[in-house]
Amino acid sequence: MSNPIIQIQSLSKQYKGAEFFSVNTLSLDVVKGEIFGLLGPNGAGKTTLISMLCGLVKPTLGSFTIQGLNYHDNAHAIKKIIGVVPQEYALYPTLTARENLMYFGSMYGLKGAILKQKINDSLEYLGLTKFADKRIETYSGGMKRRVNLIAGLLHNPLVLFLDEPTVGVDVHSKNVIIEYLKQVNAKGTTIIYTSHHLAEAQDLCTRLAIIDSGVVLIQGTPQQVIEQTQNAYSLEDVFLSLTGKELRDV
Amino acid sequence: MYKLVMSVYKEVLLLRRDPGALIILFVMPLVLVIAITLIQDSTFKTATESKIPILLVDNDKGEVFKMVLKNLGESSSFSVITKDKGKPITEQFAKDKVFNGEYQMAIVIPAQLSSGLKAKVNGNVQKIMEGFNAVADTVATASAPAQKTAPKEVRLYFDPASQTAFKNAVKSTIDKMISQIETKSIYDAFKEQLGEESTAAFEQENYISFKEIVPMFENKAMVPNSTQHNVPAWTLFAMFFIVVPLSINIVKEKNQGTQVRLRTNPVHYYTVIGGKTITYLIICMLQFYLMLAVGIYLFPHIGLPPLGLNGTFLLMSVVALFSGFAAVGFGILLGTLAKTQEQAAPFGSTSVVILAATGGVWVPVFAMPKVMQYIAKASPMNWGLDAFYDVLLRNNTLTGILPQLASLFLFFIGMVALSLFYDEKKRAV
């Protein structure tokens, strides 16, 4: 595969006291400039995998590199080039959107007019300018999701990790978010994205992998994985065919 | 440095938007220090200046009762009540009134106390005089063997709600008065035996007296008052209460997910902790100066003794700063260990109360049981309080308080190190 920006080799994670591995000798490459979807049922290991790649959880076994850097020796350098949009809002509710973004932007060393301009542009694009100086606690779920997204993108990261960025948002907010992500990707940011919205993933992702029980079941472009699966006409057919129809409550 | 400054700015914004935390940090300590000093000051006045009404029951009908009545009447501490509706008070009446809380105490002078005391003293004096063989004629006529007199007891009744300290103070006063009456009786008996012309031989003034020597500042005596005890003690208590909002702040960051975001940012956790440390240290110092200002400027207007710093402002500030470090360190550890606000808030406030109690804020360490005295030495609040008293009341220097300052700072370092260790360990889930 040409020009991988993320290389994962036999990565495993077993939480203390857990009977099974959440991620089990998983290997995967993500190519620079693509939008890579990580799909799977609840408890498949998607969030654990992203948490390891972001440095939030230490792997039990295996290794990975981002832009050729391994996390063990280059944690600070990796943090500079990645952006993370966690599933939870991860914002200070009593601060305004602008104050939150000023703070998180400054943690990347951004300051002054550049930071202010970047914040204004992002707020403008995502339709939040007139709410910029209102406290986050007064925002709707969709508005919080948009600010959450901006906070992970202020420093123009090379790689953006998104953990279910559109969960619980209205259709309008979802469309704006998806369009914004496409624009960010077009400017060169590689996106790793988890979601339960299969149609959204099919539309957004250039490539994807379906994982379950910590292992990759299938990977390729959306079209490829549909073609590789018998009697599958959509990503949902592939998903159910590979992961089964039983409920996954974790 | 820029990230640290922005972290401090963010913490300040968060505090400004949290009126509850601001009340805990600034209003409650002020209310506390004013209330406690007023209470302690008025308690002191109760024991020394204002008069406590007491019931005096006279079963004696003699000289001792008159002397007790006279002494108590002259005392600035008591106003004596001997009659109810024109009739002399009985012991049963006094007991009922005191035990149901209408009066703080009653004194019952037993029957025949005066005559018994006189007989006993006379007997003893006669024996002494016989020994000296001084008045042979008198002996010949009045040397009947001294009668054995049974000891009498003055009964005291206290309101069951009276505190031990008050009871002890009153008992001590009564005891002193009884001793004076006995002494006077002895002198009177000697005078009687020796005749009126020898009266001048007895000088009844106390020969031994005591004088309290206090530290001096610029040739002025530094006499401690309730303000100088209370302001440092309760300021320290208030400063440690930042443990509650600080630990809640950290727990909130964990629960809101902002801590997760910060961990993925290229910023050291030390910077995040540093931002909190600086902000809450500033809060501690503001609390301290506010309390000093209240002690100096407000207390005289509400009838309390003013706080006299006697040139110790700078050293007091140093002690406050290091005490603040200890409080912040404790808050950081608690916030790191706690999973929910429900854990952090009650544990934080209770542990501060325990630290204050063991640290000598309420009861002086020397008055504690031996085991508690050892425990007190491990309390950062004790180190801070000791350093405050060293500076303010014992006229100590920076060198003199270095051990306490070092202990406070090492406590901070230890707490933060433990927090970082726990945090790192937790991430290796």
- Domain borders along chain A are 4-11+23-42+58-243
Range of the domain at B134: 51-201
User: Does A10 score more than 60 pLDDT?
Assistant: yes
Nearest to A94 among B17, B427, B428 (CB): B17
Residue A39 sits at the chain B interface (C-beta within 8 Å): no
Compute CA distances A219 → A11, A34, A63, A70, B372, whole Å: 17, 14, 20, 24, 67
Question: Is B220 contained in some domain?
Answer: no
Q: How many residues does chain B have?
A: 429
**Chain B positions in Cβ-Cβ contact with residue A107 (cut-off 8 Å):** 3, 6, 262, 265-267
- How far is Cα of residue B428 from the mean position of the Cα atoms in its chain? 49
Distance, in Å, from the CA atom of B376 to the CA atom of B361, rounded to the nearest integer, reads 10
Nearest to A57 among B6, B262, B429 (CB): B429
- Please answer yes or no on whether B256 and A92 come within 8 Å at the CB atom: yes
Residue A17 sits at the chain B interface (C-beta within 8 Å): no
**Chain B positions in Cβ-Cβ contact with residue A115 (cut-off 8 Å):** none
The answer on B268 and B137 residing in a single domain is: no
Distance, in Å, from the CA atom of B406 to the CA atom of B325, rounded to the nearest integer, reads 11
Task: State the average pLDDT over residues A23-35.
Answer: 89
* Chain A, nearest residue to B268 by Cα: A76
Distance, in Å, from the CA atom of B303 to the CA atom of B35, rounded to the nearest integer, reads 12
- Please answer yes or no on whether B256 and A88 come within 8 Å at the CB atom: yes
Residue A196 sits at the chain B interface (C-beta within 8 Å): no
Beta bridge partners of A63: A9
Residue A56 sits at the chain B interface (C-beta within 8 Å): yes
What is the domain-level CATH number for residue B83? 3.40.1710
Q: Which of A52, A82, A92 to mutate to test the interface with B (most CBs of B within 10 A)?
A: A92
Question: Is B215 contained in some domain?
Answer: no
Is residue A19 within 8 Å of A31, Cβ to Cβ? Answer: no
Chain A, 117-136: which have a CB under 8 Å from a chain B CB? 135
The answer on B387 and B297 residing in a single domain is: yes
* Chain A, nearest residue to B18 by Cα: A94
Which of left, alpha, beta for B133 (phi over 0: left; psi -120 to 50: alpha)?
A: left
Residue B371 sits at the chain A interface (C-beta within 8 Å): no
Q: Count Cβ atoms within 10 A of the Cβ of residue B126 and give its class: 0-12 exposed, 13-18 middle, 19 or more buried.
A: buried
Distance, in Å, from the CA atom of B117 to the CA atom of B63, rounded to the nearest integer, reads 10
- Please answer yes or no on whether B427 and A56 come within 8 Å at the CB atom: yes
- Please answer yes or no on whether A16 and B429 come within 8 Å at the CB atom: yes
* Ordered per-residue pLDDT tens for chain B, 429 residues: 888 998 998 888 888 888 887 887 888 888 888 887 777 766 555 555 567 788 889 888 887 888 888 877 777 777 888 888 888 888 889 888 888 778 888 888 888 888 888 888 888 877 777 776 655 555 445 545 555 667 778 888 888 777 777 778 778 877 887 788 888 888 877 777 776 655 555 666 666 666 666 666 566 665 556 677 778 888 888 888 889 889 988 998 888 888 888 888 888 888 888 999 999 999 999 999 988 898 888 888 887 777 777 778 898 999 999 999 999 999 999 998 888 888 888 888 888 888 888 887 777 777 677 788 888 888 888 899 888 888 877 777 888 889 999 999 999 999 999 998 888 777 654
Residue A20 sits at the chain B interface (C-beta within 8 Å): no
User: Does A17 score more than 50 pLDDT?
Assistant: yes
Distance, in Å, from the CA atom of A6 to the CA atom of A30, rounded to the nearest integer, reads 5
Q: What DSSP string describes B1-19?
A: -HHHHHHHHHHHHHHHT-H
Q: How many C-beta atoms surround the C-beta of residue A233 within 10 A?
A: 9
User: Does A146 score more than 80 pLDDT?
Assistant: yes
Nearest to B262 among A76, A88, A107 (CB): A107
Q: Count Cβ atoms within 10 A of the Cβ of residue A29 and give its class: 0-12 exposed, 13-18 middle, 19 or more buried.
A: middle
How close A108 comes to chain B (CA, Å)? 6
Domain boundary among B201, B217, B241: B201
* Chain A, nearest residue to B257 by Cα: A90
**Chain B positions in Cβ-Cβ contact with residue A94 (cut-off 8 Å):** 13-14, 17-18
Distance, in Å, from the CA atom of B133 to the CA atom of B352, rounded to the nearest integer, reads 72
**Chain A positions in Cβ-Cβ contact with residue B17 (cut-off 8 Å):** 94-95, 135
Question: Is B281 contained in some domain?
Answer: yes
Question: Is B217 contained in some domain?
Answer: no
**Chain B positions in Cβ-Cβ contact with residue A89 (cut-off 8 Å):** 256-257
Distance, in Å, from the CA atom of B124 to the CA atom of B116, rounded to the nearest integer, reads 12
How close A164 comes to chain B (CA, Å)? 15
The answer on B289 and B177 residing in a single domain is: no
The pLDDT of residue B429 is: 47
Residue B260 sits at the chain A interface (C-beta within 8 Å): yes
3-state class of A118 per DSSP? Answer: helix
What angle do the packed helices B63-74 and B164-194 form, to 10 degrees? 130
Question: Is B295 contained in some domain?
Answer: yes
Beta bridge partners of B156: B107
The answer on B195 and B300 residing in a single domain is: no
Task: State the average pLDDT over residues A109-117.
Answer: 89
Task: State the average pLDDT over residues A177-198.
Answer: 88
How close A165 comes to chain B (CA, Å)? 14
Secondary-structure breakdown of chain B: helix, strand, coil percentages, each rounded to the nearest 5: 70, 5, 25
Distance, in Å, from the CA atom of A232 to the CA atom of A96, rounded to the nearest integer, reads 47
* Chain A, nearest residue to B5 by Cα: A106
Distance, in Å, from the CA atom of B358 to the CA atom of B375, rounded to the nearest integer, reads 7
Distance, in Å, from the CA atom of B106 to the CA atom of B91, rounded to the nearest integer, reads 9
**Chain A positions in Cβ-Cβ contact with residue B429 (cut-off 8 Å):** 15-16, 57-58
Which of left, alpha, beta for B338 (phi over 0: left; psi -120 to 50: alpha)?
A: beta
Domain boundary among B201, B218, B252: B201
Instruction: Give per-residue burial for B317-347: e unless 16+ CB within 10 Å, then b.
Output: ebbbbbbbbbbbbbbbbbbbbbeebeebbeb
**Chain B positions in Cβ-Cβ contact with residue A92 (cut-off 8 Å):** 10, 14, 256, 258
Strand (E) or helix (H) holding B350: helix B341-359
Is residue A21 within 8 Å of A14, Cβ to Cβ? Answer: yes
pTM of the model: 0.75
**Chain B positions in Cβ-Cβ contact with residue A91 (cut-off 8 Å):** 256-258
Nearest to A67, CA basis, from A56, A57, A80: A80
Distance, in Å, from the CA atom of B43 to the CA atom of B47, rounded to the nearest integer, reads 6
**Chain A positions in Cβ-Cβ contact with residue B261 (cut-off 8 Å):** 84, 86, 90, 104, 151-152
3-state class of A39 per DSSP? Answer: strand
What are the residues whose beta carbons fall under 8 Å from the beta carbon of B179, sequence distance 6 or more?
A: none
**Chain A positions in Cβ-Cβ contact with residue B427 (cut-off 8 Å):** 56-58
What are the residues whose beta carbons fall under 8 Å from the beta carbon of A97, sequence distance 6 or more?
A: A91, A123, A128, A131, A132, A133, A134, A136, A139, A147
The answer on B80 and B23 residing in a single domain is: no
How close A105 comes to chain B (CA, Å)? 9
Give the phi and the psi of residue B30 in degrees, each rounded to 5: -65, -45
* Chain B, nearest residue to A81 by Cα: B266
What are the residues whose beta carbons fall under 8 Å from the beta carbon of B309, sequence distance 6 or more?
A: B292, B296, B316, B392
Can you count the helices (H) and strands (E) in chain A?
9, 10
| pLDDT band at residue A102 using 50, 70 and 90 as cut-offs | very high
The pLDDT of residue A249 is: 55
**Chain B positions in Cβ-Cβ contact with residue A108 (cut-off 8 Å):** 265-266
The answer on B241 and B138 residing in a single domain is: no
| pLDDT band at residue A94 using 50, 70 and 90 as cut-offs | very high
Nearest to B427 among A58, A86, A95 (CB): A58
The pLDDT of residue A97 is: 92
Question: Is B211 contained in some domain?
Answer: no
The answer on B351 and B243 residing in a single domain is: yes
**Chain B positions in Cβ-Cβ contact with residue A80 (cut-off 8 Å):** 266
Distance, in Å, from the CA atom of A174 to the CA atom of A185, rounded to the nearest integer, reads 16
Residue B20 sits at the chain A interface (C-beta within 8 Å): no
Nearest to A26, CA basis, from A53, A66, A3: A53
The answer on B127 and B72 residing in a single domain is: yes
The number of distinct structural domains making up chain B is 2
The answer on B15 and B144 residing in a single domain is: no
The pairing of strands B78-81 and B52-58 is parallel
The answer on B158 and B109 residing in a single domain is: yes
The answer on B193 and B82 residing in a single domain is: yes
Reading the block at residue A68, the tokens are 């050729």
The pLDDT of residue B424 is: 78
Superfamily for domain range A4-11+23-42+58-243: P-loop containing nucleotide triphosphate hydrolases (3.40.50.300)
Exposure on the CB side of residue A67, measured as CA atoms within 13 A: 15
**Chain B positions in Cβ-Cβ contact with residue A145 (cut-off 8 Å):** none
List, in sequence order, the alpha helices (H) in B195-268.
226-240, 243-256, 258-264
Distance, in Å, from the CA atom of B350 to the CA atom of B233, rounded to the nearest integer, reads 17
- How far is Cα of residue B148 from the mean position of the Cα atoms in its chain? 46
The answer on B36 and B56 residing in a single domain is: no
What angle do the packed helices B313-337 and B269-293 form, to 10 degrees? 140
Beta bridge partners of B58: B109
The pLDDT of residue B282 is: 93
The edge-to-edge listing of strands for the beta sheet with A4-13 is A23-31, A4-13, A61-66, A69-70
Place of tokens 């993320």: A6
Place of tokens 């309101």: B159
- Please answer yes or no on whether B265 and A79 come within 8 Å at the CB atom: yes
Our CA dihedral for B325, B331, B333, B334, rounded to 10 degrees, sits at: 160
- Please answer yes or no on whether A86 and B6 come within 8 Å at the CB atom: no
Domain boundary among B134, B166, B201: B201
